[in-house]
């Protein structure tokens, strides 16, 4: 393009130079012609002046001897002027033919001058004077005719030359106008050519940059050459680079978005600065599932809204540590939308995006880990308790058996009174109670290993339910006051379990339910199959007084009881046996009163069970 511009400038310069040279040359030629014409007109004026002077002398001759005669001095002056006029004519440069005519006129003027001189000097001879006057007059007329003829001829030629010059000047004006107009048109054409050659590539480049600005990185600039082609190639290379970078960014964004969305832990991006510190800016699907809120609902909350009151009070300090560059790792308790509290492990760190600070928080639900830790602790406690119970039972059982035998023997003495016998019977009863307590401790701390076999849970439930109703405590008003509702799934699959331990589990729960309904009530038993977990559910519900708030976990602790004469081992042993089968036991109060126990048992046992 630069080469074309240089060529164009040189072309325009040459056009102007040629036009200028032509105009200057034409002006010079025309000026010269005009100068020549002016000179010729001046010569013509001189000849006319000569003619006038000759006519003056001729008039002086004609007026001689009349009352209008001129004075001698006037005639002499007019003759001198006539002689001076012919001399002036020779001051200009003339062609040879003109010079010849001028010499002829000069001789004629001299002849006329001599004739006038003779006329003025002759006085005595009248006839000679008359002849001289007549001769002088004829010479004068001839001179006037010659000069006049010469003036006519030169005037005609001068007029013709003047007209030719004027025509030439007019043509020159037109040519100059055409030259200037042609130069202007040529310049404009060249300018338009270069403007078009400049604006078209610039427009293409502008269109290309606008398309790139719109995000159309597929657009490419084509059809340009020279420097614009190089620039277009650079823009296309930049677009290729941007496209590659955007592709990499999109891939990284997809990768991180996939990691963000598919992570098993809750991930929150929190506002770290200002009054909105702790506000949830982004959350993944795990956070949605863990807390029971939709993502749109989470984005309207602060992380404090998902924490218990105590955990929320620690959040400002965690944010302050994160802003100081510390990595925060702690545990807390979160709230689900339904109000359920669960433990979480929290890891937080600071990151900046577009000169703004955010906190990246990972929250992991550690409910199962806490349960496993509790189970492990409980297992250790059971092992210790088993060892203690075994040793304690061994140390107590034999002395206790001796005491019991001695008291039984002593009670047979005939001399004892009735009151003394009653006291001894009470002692024997308490000893039996201690023996039962020791047996319960052994069963809880070190239960017998299950003897697994293929069993029908519905049959075991029917048998245990019948026995529990017949074995109602003596304080119960009437077993007829207990209404039993059974909803047993006839298609319930058989499971692998210990039938004796299952009977003990159901019997214990049924007896507790009957005892909870001293004035009668409804005992509901249902079974169902969970295909997703390949397990069965047994639900036992009563309409008794229910469980006091805060006792849901304590009722399964050893030796915790609300019964006056209870050992507090029944539910603990029941839970222990269910866990030994790989199952789960939970409890809750009914909305209209009473309690519900829910048992989950696997259809098939795993290779390993809980330690005993």
Q: What is the rounded CA–CA span in Å between residue 34 and residue 39? A: 8
Could you tell me the two tokens for 277?
Answer: 């510190």
Chain-centroid distance, C-alpha 197? 36
pLDDT of residue 611: 41
pLDDT band at 172 (very low <50, low <70, confident <90, very high): confident
- Out of 207-221, 244-258, 343-357, 399-413, the most confident range is 343-357
The answer on pLDDT for 539 being more than 90 is yes
Strand partners, 350: 359
When comparing pLDDT for 456 and 155, which is higher? Answer: 456
What pLDDT score was predicted for residue 554?
Answer: 63
pLDDT of residue 286 exceeding 60: yes
Region of poorest pLDDT, from 65-74, 252-261, 317-326, 450-459: 252-261
Residue 474 has a pLDDT of 46
Report the Cα 43 to chain-centroid distance in Å: 94
CB contact at 8 A, 545 and 519:
no
State how far the Cα of 231 lies from the Cα of 3, in Å rounded to an integer.
16
pLDDT over threshold 50, residue 593: yes
Phi, psi of 457 (to 5 degrees): -65, -35
Strand runs (DSSP E) across 471-554, as ranges?
482-487, 495-497, 521-530, 535-541
Distance between CA atoms of residues 163 and 170, nearest Å: 10
Could you give the maximum distance between any two Cα atoms of the chain, in Å?
240
**Do 580 and 612 form a contact (C-beta atoms < 8 A)?**
yes
pLDDT value of residue 610 = 41
How far is the C-alpha of 288 from the C-alpha of 279, rounded, in Å?
A: 16
Residue 385 Cα to chain centre, angstroms: 65
Q: Which region among 78-87, 90-99, 160-169 has the lowest average model confidence (pLDDT)? A: 90-99
Residue 553's pLDDT is: 63
Structure confidence at residue 144 as a pLDDT band (50, 70, 90): confident
Q: Which of 127-141, 318-332, 410-424 has the highest mean pLDDT?
A: 318-332
pLDDT at 310: 86
Q: Are 351 and 273 in contact (CB under 8 A)?
A: no
Q: Where are the beta strands (DSSP E) in 248-406?
A: 266-271, 280-283, 328-335, 341-353, 356-365
Is the C-alpha dihedral spanning 27, 30, 33, 37 positive or negative? negative
> What does the pLDDT read at residue 418?
73
What is the pLDDT confidence band of residue 487, given thresholds at 50, 70 and 90? Answer: very high
pLDDT classification of 559: cutoffs 50, 70, 90: low
What integer pLDDT is reported at residue 536 of this predicted model? Answer: 93
Q: Is the pLDDT of residue 45 over 50?
A: yes
Q: pTM, whole model, 2 decimals?
A: 0.40
pLDDT at 280 over 60: yes
Unique residue bearing structure tokens 């040529």: 186
Q: Which residues pair with 245 in a beta bridge?
A: none
Report residue 139: phi and psi, to 5°. Answer: -60, -45
- At 557, the pLDDT band (50, 70, 90 cuts) reads low
- Percent of the chain at pLDDT exceeding 70: 82
Tokens for 225, please give them: 């050459």
Q: Is the pLDDT of residue 550 over 70?
A: no
120-134, 150-164, 177-191, 380-394 — which is least confidently predicted? 380-394
Cα–Cα nearest to 308, from 281, 278, 343, 282: 343
Least-confidence region, from 134-143, 279-288, 583-592: 134-143
d(CA 60, CA 79): 10
Tokens of residue 333, six digits: 């308790």
The pLDDT of residue 599 is 93
pLDDT single digits (tens) 209-245: 887 777 777 778 777 777 777 777 887 888 788 778 8
Q: Check: CB of residue 280 under 8 Å from CB of residue 294.
A: no
Cross-strand pairs, 455: 495
Strand bridging mode 453-455 / 495-497: antiparallel
DSSP state of 225: -
Predicted local confidence at residue 526, as pLDDT: 94
Q: Which of 35-49, 88-102, 203-217, 557-571 has the lowest mean pLDDT?
A: 557-571
Residues 456-485 as b/e (b if ≥16 CB within 10 A, e otherwise) read: ebbebbeebbeebbeebeeebeeeeebeee
Given a contact cutoff of 8 angstroms between Cβ atoms, the answer to whether 194 and 11 are in contact is no
Angle at 474 between CA 468 and CA 475, to 5 degrees: 110
Evaluate if residue 441 carries a pLDDT over 90.
no
State residue 562's pLDDT score.
57
Beta bridge partners of 483: 522
Would you state the pLDDT for residue 124? 58
Is the pLDDT assigned to residue 451 strictly greater than 80? yes
Q: Which of 48-52, 177-181, 300-304 has the highest mean pLDDT?
A: 300-304
Look over the chain and give the mean of its residue pLDDT values, rounded to a whole number. 78
pLDDT at residue 609 greater than cutoff 50? no
More confident residue, 467 or 437: 467
The string of DSSP letters for 114-174 reads: HHHHHHHH--S-HHHHHHHHHHHHHHHHHHHHHHHHHHHHHHHHHHHHHHHHHHHHHHHHH
CB atoms within 10 A of CB 247: 11
User: Average of pLDDT values for 105-110?
Assistant: 79
* φ and ψ at residue 606, rounded to 5 degrees: -80, 170
145-154, 259-268, 290-299, 377-386 — most confident range: 290-299
Contact 580, 611 (CB under 8 A): no
């Amino acid at each position: 393009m630069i080469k074309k511009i240089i060529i164009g400038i040189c072309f325009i310069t040459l056009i102007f130079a040629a036009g200028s040279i032509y105009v200057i040359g034409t002006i010079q030629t025309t000026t010269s012609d005009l100068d020549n014409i002016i000179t010729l007109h001046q010569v013509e004026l001189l000849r006319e002046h000569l003619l006038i002077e000759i006519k003056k002398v001729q008039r002086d001759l004609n007026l001689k001897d009349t009352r209008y005669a001129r004075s001698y001095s006037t005639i002499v002056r007019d003759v001198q002027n006539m002689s001076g006029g012919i001399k002036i004519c020779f001051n200009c440069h003339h062609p040879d033919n003109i010079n010849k005519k001028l010499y002829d006129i000069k001789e004629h003027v001299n002849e006329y001058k001599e004739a006038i001189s003779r006329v003025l000097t002759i006085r005595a001879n009248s006839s000679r004077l008359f002849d001289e006057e007549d001769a002088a007059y004829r010479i004068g007329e001839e001179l006037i005719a010659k000069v006049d003829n010469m003036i006519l001829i030169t005037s005609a030629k001068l007029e013709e030359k003047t007209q030719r010059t004027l025509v030439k000047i007019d043509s020159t004006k037109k040519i100059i106008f055409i030259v200037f107009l042609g130069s202007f048109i040529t310049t404009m054409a060249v300018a338009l050519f270069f403007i078009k050659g400049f604006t078209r590539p610039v427009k293409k480049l502008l269109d290309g940059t606008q398309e790139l600005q719109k995000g159309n990185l597929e657009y490419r600039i084509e059809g340009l050459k020279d420097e614009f082609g190089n620039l277009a190639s650079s823009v296309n290379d930049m677009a290729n680079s941007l496209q590659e970078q955007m592709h990499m960014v999109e891939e990284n964004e997809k990768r991180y978005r996939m990691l963000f969305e598919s992570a098993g832990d809750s991930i929150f991006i929190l506002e770290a600065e200002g009054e909105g510190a702790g506000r949830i800016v982004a959350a993944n699907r795990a956070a949605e599932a863990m807390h029971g809120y939709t993502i749109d609902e989470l984005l309207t909350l602060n992380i404090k809204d998902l924490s218990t009151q105590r955990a929320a009070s620690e959040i400002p300090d965690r944010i302050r540590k994160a802003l100081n560059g510390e990595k925060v790792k702690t545990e807390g308790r979160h709230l689900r939308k339904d109000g359920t509290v669960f433990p979480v492990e929290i890891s937080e760190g600071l990151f900046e995006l577009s000169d703004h600070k955010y906190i990246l928080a990972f929250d992991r639900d550690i409910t199962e880990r806490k349960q496993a830790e509790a189970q492990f602790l409980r297992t250790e406690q059971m092992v210790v308790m088993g060892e203690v119970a075994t040793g304690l039972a061994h140390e107590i059982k034999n002395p206790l058996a001796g005491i019991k035998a001695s008291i039984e023997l002593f009670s047979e003495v005939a001399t004892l009174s009735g009151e003394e016998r009653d006291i001894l019977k009470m002692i024997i009863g308490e000893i039996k109670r201690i023996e039962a307590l020791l047996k319960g401790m052994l069963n809880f701390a070190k239960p017998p290993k299950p003897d697994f076999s293929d069993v029908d849970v519905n049959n075991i439930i029917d048998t245990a339910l019948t026995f529990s109703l017949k074995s109602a405590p003596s304080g119960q008003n009437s077993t007829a006051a207990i209404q039993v509702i059974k909803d047993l799934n006839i298609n319930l699959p058989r499971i692998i379990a210990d039938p004796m331990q299952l009977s003990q589990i159901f019997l214990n729960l049924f007896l507790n339910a009957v005892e909870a309904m001293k004035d009668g009530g409804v005992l509901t038993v249902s079974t169902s199959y969970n295909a997703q977990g390949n397990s069965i559910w047994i639900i036992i519900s009563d309409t008794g007084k229910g469980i006091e708030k805060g006792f849901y976990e304590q009722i399964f602790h050893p030796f915790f009881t609300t019964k006056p004469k209870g050992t507090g081992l029944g539910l603990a042993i029941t839970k222990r046996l269910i866990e030994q089968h790989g199952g789960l036991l939970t409890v809750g109060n009914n909305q209209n009163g009473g309690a519900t126990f829910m048992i989950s048992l696997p259809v098939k046992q795993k290779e390993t069970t809980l330690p005993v």
